Structure 1
Amino acid sequence: MGTFYWVRALLGGILIGLSAAIFLLFNGRIAGVSGMVNGAIKLTPHERWRWTFILGLFIGGALYEYVLAPQPTPTGLQG
């Protein structure tokens, strides 16, 4: 089992809460992903921001995974 990094979890939770609060402040809506996807599937032209939001979720996850996350070091290799 991997090591639990509580500081990363805390910072992630703070960022999610901050993002949701900013979204509510600027759009007057709650940032619910299921509602975003439902509205995006309807394909109305004035709802393009929903696709941007959903795409940002994937890009943010990929950015963390491949750029910001610490890479594991190989174990068991004798040099």
Structure 2
Amino acid sequence: MTEFTPLQSLLGGGLIGLSAVLLMAFHGRIAGMTGILTGVLPGADSRGWRLAFLAGAVAAPLLLVTLDVVAIPFESPSPWVWTVVSGLIVGIGVTFGGGCTSGHGVCGNARLSPRSIVATLTFMLTTGLTVYVIRHMLGGL
């Protein structure tokens, strides 16, 4: 069962929005995690800020767990093979979709990009349909 955490969700969403605004203000870049991750691969330009952004995205939750501020369960009921395959499928979707959910949903919608609005609506409708099918038609959790 999914926990209802409105305050934590509001704080987290606010921090994501703030980081997107600061990245755009100081570097003129969109805070799409896939683009940032791709930009640290060999041969990419301006890797410094990308590495710092990714380090913060990894270090912040680890720090919160280490300080016992929050408990984040890292286990998954899915076999690791499914995780790898689903990651590859997401990577293919990101390539064909011209960006990831964070780039389109947070930054693209804020810029009123028609492509991002359509992409975000597609993500949300597909997610809702998937949850409905798994929970109500296939009897999953």
TM-score above 0.5? yes
Give the partner amino acid of 1:55.
A
Give the 4+ runs in structure 1 shifted more than 6 A. Answer: none
Q: Which has the higher contact order (CA 8 A, sep 6+)?
A: 2
For 1:48 and 1:62, the matched residues in 2 are separated by 21
Task: For structure 1, list consecutive stretches of 5 or more residues without a partner in the other structure.
Answer: 71-79
Aligned residue in 1 for 2:34: 34
Q: TM-score, normalised by structure 1?
A: 0.73
CA RMSD after TM alignment: 2.2
Task: For structure 2, list consecutive stretches of 5 or more residues without a partner in the other structure.
Answer: 72-141
Q: TM-score, normalised by structure 2?
A: 0.44
Aligned residue in 1 for 2:62: 62
- Give % identity: 36
- Matched positions, count: 71
Tell me which moved more, 51-60 or 38-47: 38-47
Give the partner amino acid of 1:35.
G
